[in-house]
Amino acid sequence: MQRLEPATTALLTVECQNGVVGEDSALPELAKEAQASGMLARVAELVAGAHRAGVQVLHAVAERRPDGRGANTNARLFRAAGKLPVQQLTGSAAVRVAAPIEVAEQDLVVRRLHGLSPMAGTDLDALLRNLGCRTLVVTGVSSNVAIPNTVFDAVNLGYQVVVPADAIAGVPAEYTAQVLRNSLALVAAVTTTEEVLAAWS
Q: Does 80 have pLDDT greater than 80?
A: no
How far apart CA 131 and CA 84 sit, in angstroms, is 37
Backbone angles phi, psi at 80, to 5 degrees: -65, -40
How far apart CA 43 and CA 39 sit, in angstroms, is 6
State the distance between the two ends of the chain, measured CA to CA, in whole angstroms. Answer: 12
Q: Does 1 have pLDDT greater than 70?
A: no
Q: Is the link from the previous residue into 142 a cis peptide, with omega within 30 of 0?
A: yes
> Which residues have C-beta within 8 Å of that of residue 193, sequence separation ≥ 6?
42, 45, 46, 164, 166, 167
For 155-177, what is the mean pLDDT? 97
For 85-101, what is the mean pLDDT? 91
Confidence of residue 2 (pLDDT cuts 50, 70, 90): low
pTM of the shown model: 0.95
| Sign of the torsion angle spanned by Cα atoms 116, 18, 168, 102 | positive
Residue type, 169: A
Q: What is the pLDDT of residue 74?
A: 80
For 169-174, what is the mean pLDDT? 96
pLDDT in tens, 107-135: 999 999 999 999 999 999 999 999 999 99
CA 35 to chain centre: 15
Confidence of residue 23 (pLDDT cuts 50, 70, 90): confident
